[in-house]
Structure 1
Amino acid sequence: MSDNQLEVLQEQISAGARLRGVADRIHTEILASQTGEEALQQFAEAARQLIGARYCAIGVARAGGESLEEFLTAGLTPSELEAIGAKPRGAGILGLLLQRETPLRLEKLSQHTSSAGIPAHHPPMESFLGVPIRYDQTVLGSIYLTEKPGGFTEEDERTIQALSMHLAVAIRNWQLLKRQRALVAGLIAAQEEERRAVAYDLHDGLTQYVMAAHMHLAAFQRVYGKDDEDLTLGLKYLKDAVVESRRLVNGLRSLALDDMGLAGALAQLVQEEKVRAGWVEADFLHNVEGERFSPSLVTAVYRVAQEALTNARKHAVAQQVQVTLLQEGANLLLLTITDDGCGFDPGRTHADEKHIGLHGMAERVRLLEGTLLIESAPGKGTQLSASFPVSYHEEEKQR
């Protein structure tokens, strides 16, 4: 084997290794990412560097493959992207690739009959390589590379075709995850609607009957039974029942979330529970003032805090309680609730009231792909930590 042949073979082996590395990264990062877009953009950058192109983009098709749902780029600066304006939706060459099953390689992009021109302030792009991304017979999108010195080669085309097959699997998995997350959001919304319906039934039904009974007995007492201790005690119980039913209605509807947002609603919840439980100290610390999260995330965090504080009030015999809600980086929301109460053994599996509540919290956190950690021991107090991924919920908020 000549030196030149050896060099070519070594370069092919090296290119193959880089190809496998990029493909492995696609699967790992897209499936680990909470958004998917970040991983796709990282892949576009890796493909751009692998081929030696100046620019790369990945277009993800909408259902039916007639237009683009998402368009991610590599090689353009933030200021260039801002100057270009709205993302393309699949016109011209981009739309043509959604209809093709084979790659498209051009020396001059502007000379193709399907070229629709480029927006104002867009950098010039001539040499072009576009490869459809398909899963079985389904169009998932396309990958585009432009501006390679000397133009694109057949080897570049084969390389991107190989990468597109890995990318197709990863995009498909990401789409399935998005559907699953949409179903979870729908489930949480349905649960909240059911709670609201129960709240209205309580308010318009049971609470009204209890209030009416209290009013009639109070009138009876004024006329006939001013000194009757049993009647006085019964009136007290009815009054307490009215207060409790109103508390239940407010807890089921969580109107504070709509009025004050997550931070405000939690601050109110902590103070209400402090008064009810008689805690000496109850603090709420957070760094999310003014932050907006998706409805399903807000609801889950609030409900977990609500259940945890109810458990602390009913079972912990605590004097001090602290609630913290911290956003760590862009992708994590951490709720921590600590008390100095009697504690318990988290390893117990008895289906008592307290553990039923813990199971409910764990299920809420699990539905949103978060984690729940409970640290406690008899006589040692309790700390509950629930972490929730943030970024993918932005998809839900924007729909």
Structure 2
Amino acid sequence: MSERFSDRMQAILLSIVEVAPLAVVGRRLAEAALDLTRADYAAIGAYDSRDQLEQWVPVGVDPAHERLMGHPPVGRGLLGAFARTSAPILLDDAAQYPTATGMPEHHPPMGPFLGVPVVYAGHSIGAFYVTRAPGGAPFTEDDQQRLADLAPYAALAMANARAFEREQRRAQAAEALQRAAADLREAPDEREVAAVLMRTLGALFESSPCAAVTWSADPARPYRHVLESSAGQLAASLESSLRTDLPNGAHRRSDLLEGEEAALQLAGDETGRVALAVATAALSVDLDMSPLRELAALGSDSLAAIRRQAAEASLERYALRDEIARDLHDDLIQSIYAIGLGMRVAAGGDAEQLRAVLATASDGLNEVIRELRAYIAQLSHGPESIGNSGLLSARIAALLRGPERPKWSHRIELGRAPLAPDLERQLYLIVREAVSNVQRHAHAERASLALTVEDRALRLAVHDDGVGFDRHDIREGAVGLRSVEERVVSLGGSVMIETQPGRGTTITATFPLAPAPDAGTAEV
């Protein structure tokens, strides 16, 4: 080997030592073959695990001709021979090869031909191809030897390039699946699940036709959403195939697209199922398809989560209905019944007694109206308020909308932690009694109510600037306050009533809340 050739080989080896995608490494190798043999045209071909020509990187052909050739060679003839042999092929005329199938249209004419296999771990993974125009000088054994000397380095460079591409695809797939998992956690419905799956298929498989279907045969919640990446028959064929009893898992189907195989992945059950399809003609047979399986599983889990959320919302609606039914029976119906009973008793009395009963009935009916407004306000917001004390807040606010006097101000800050339903109910009854006492007996101009959470305790404060009273003078007007005290104590709380004749009244009640969950743990 001459010193000049050694220098050239060293420069070539330095150019291919950098890890890069196969297309980049392949072009450098093809350029090296062109330089070493002084050929007119050169190419490097790479075979897949089925010995099919997977990648073709030519040099020496001008870009215009390369565009006109369109689809690269498929390796059925001379170019595919090196997948089956480890011996070089040296021809004075490429057309002499027994299985030559001709050249693609617009391919530059070929005369002398030299092909040298690239072998890695005992298996041919590609080949060098060099050729000259018809009438050009034949290639020599020295040319053949130069390419044979380069071939082991080319094998290592191509193997490294493929490993690099696999790692890149693995990282890109992991990132795409991570995004999909985050988006699916936020998906509000099954249609959005299908949209996320479709976007992720596009990120995983780029330009290959893809389709995603989510559907349910559950009569209580049927749906079917179909999306695909390009206009065509893939989605329609996929839908048609789903009418058969295909089991979950991976399938290869050749009946979804005419003349093209598709990879199919199914997951889920009849209450929420996912089907994903990807046309594989443009994909390497060695491409890792496990992301398709993982994506289908993510979609199936998301559909199950949405189904659970829908069931929970349904239970919340039933809970709201039962709570309102109970309160209507225990509170409003009883109040209306008491008003009616009082009016029947007064029917035989004198005018003064009747006026007093009608005044009491009017106050009672106003209170019933405020209660009904609270229920209507809650129903207009739906059951989502359950669990964050929205019903309690709405009902208390409605209690304070009534007569012009007193003029109420209020502050309700219960935080995000839900209150136990029994505590909410008892708390409302306490507030209602306290507010009712102010409105009926305080003769106040202004009143305020504050319900807040402070230091793991619930604090209620009701204040008015009315007439006040003597705590030691047990009068009819104080009976409601005794009821307040008894309810507070029954909840494990404490109550303080501050009042003097002519100085107004302040009721302060404090209720302990359950301990917060351990910060080191979380519900899953």
TM-score normalised according to structure 2 size = 0.41
Who is 1:194 aligned against? 326
Equivalent of 2:360, from 241, 248, 253?
241
1:151-203 CA deviation, whole Å, 9 max, x = no partner? 68563643311322333333333332222222112211222233344467337
Who is 1:10 aligned against? 164
**How far has the Cα of 1:256 moved from its partner?**
9.1
Structure 1: which 5+ runs fail to align?
A: 81-86, 112-124, 222-231, 267-292, 323-339, 357-399
Contact map agreement 2:215 2:274 (CA 8 A) in 1: yes
**How far has the Cα of 1:302 moved from its partner?**
7.3
CA distance in 1, matches of 2:344, 2:284: 83
CA distance in 1, matches of 2:253, 2:279: 11
Equivalent of 2:212, from 51, 54, 57?
57
Who is 2:242 aligned against? 94
CA distance in 2, matches of 1:11, 1:252: 68
Q: Equivalent residue of 1:173, what SS? A: helix
One-letter amino acid of the structure 2 residue matched with residue 131 of structure 1: Q
Equivalent of 2:452, from 331, 346, 354?
346
**How far has the Cα of 1:93 moved from its partner?**
0.6
Who is 1:129 aligned against? 263
**How far has the Cα of 1:16 moved from its partner?**
2.0
Structure 2: which 5+ runs fail to align?
A: 1-154, 412-445, 463-483, 485-524
Go from structure 1 to structure 2 and tell me whether the alpha carbon gap of 1:139 and 1:34 turns closer, same or farther (over 3 Å shift). Answer: closer
Who is 2:499 aligned against? none
Who is 1:28 aligned against? 182
Alignment of 1:216-295 (within 5 A): 216-217=348-349, 220-221=350-351, 232=352, 235-254=354-373, 257=376, 295=382
CA distance in 1, matches of 2:295, 2:325: 45
CA distance in 1, matches of 2:271, 2:287: 24
State the aligned residue count.
267
Q: Greater CA radius of gyration, 1 or 2?
A: 2
Go from structure 1 to structure 2 and tell me whether the alpha carbon gap of 1:106 and 1:152 turns closer, same or farther (over 3 Å shift). Answer: farther
Equivalent of 1:103, from 235, 245, 250?
250
Go from structure 1 to structure 2 and tell me whether the alpha carbon gap of 1:62 and 1:207 turns closer, same or farther (over 3 Å shift). Answer: farther
Q: Equivalent residue of 1:134, what SS? A: strand
CA distance in 2, matches of 1:345, 1:205: 30
Contact map agreement 1:109 1:127 (CA 8 A) in 2: yes
Who is 1:207 aligned against? 339
**How far has the Cα of 1:57 moved from its partner?**
1.5
Q: Equivalent residue of 2:342, what SS? A: helix
TM-score normalised according to structure 1 size = 0.51
**How far has the Cα of 1:208 moved from its partner?**
1.6
Go from structure 1 to structure 2 and tell me whether the alpha carbon gap of 1:21 and 1:180 turns closer, same or farther (over 3 Å shift). Answer: farther
Who is 2:414 aligned against? none
One-letter amino acid of the structure 2 residue matched with residue 310 of structure 1: L
CA distance in 2, matches of 1:30, 1:107: 30
- Highest relative contact order (Cα 8 Å, sep 6+), 1 or 2? 1
Contact map agreement 1:26 1:39 (CA 8 A) in 2: no
Go from structure 1 to structure 2 and tell me whether the alpha carbon gap of 1:347 and 1:101 turns closer, same or farther (over 3 Å shift). Answer: closer
Who is 1:271 aligned against? none
Q: Equivalent residue of 2:249, what SS? A: coil
Go from structure 1 to structure 2 and tell me whether the alpha carbon gap of 1:320 and 1:60 turns closer, same or farther (over 3 Å shift). Answer: same
**How far has the Cα of 1:12 moved from its partner?**
1.9
Who is 2:192 aligned against? 38
CA distance in 1, matches of 2:344, 2:447: 39
CA distance in 2, matches of 1:17, 1:155: 14
- Please say if 1:141 is aligned against 2:288: no
Q: Equivalent residue of 1:172, what SS? A: helix
One-letter amino acid of the structure 2 residue matched with residue 56 of structure 1: A
**How far has the Cα of 1:36 moved from its partner?**
5.7
One-letter amino acid of the structure 1 residue matched with residue 290 of structure 2: R
Who is 1:174 aligned against? 306
Contact map agreement 1:130 1:142 (CA 8 A) in 2: no
One-letter amino acid of the structure 2 residue matched with residue 296 of structure 1: P
CA distance in 2, matches of 1:190, 1:134: 34
Q: Equivalent residue of 1:131, what SS? A: strand
Who is 2:83 aligned against? none
Go from structure 1 to structure 2 and tell me whether the alpha carbon gap of 1:43 and 1:74 turns closer, same or farther (over 3 Å shift). Answer: same
CA distance in 2, matches of 1:173, 1:310: 38
**How far has the Cα of 1:149 moved from its partner?**
5.7
Q: Equivalent residue of 1:155, what SS? A: coil
- Residue identity over aligned pairs, in percent, reads 7
**How far has the Cα of 1:74 moved from its partner?**
4.9
CA-atom RMSD, angstroms? Answer: 4.8
One-letter amino acid of the structure 2 residue matched with residue 166 of structure 1: L
Who is 2:142 aligned against? none
Who is 2:396 aligned against? 307
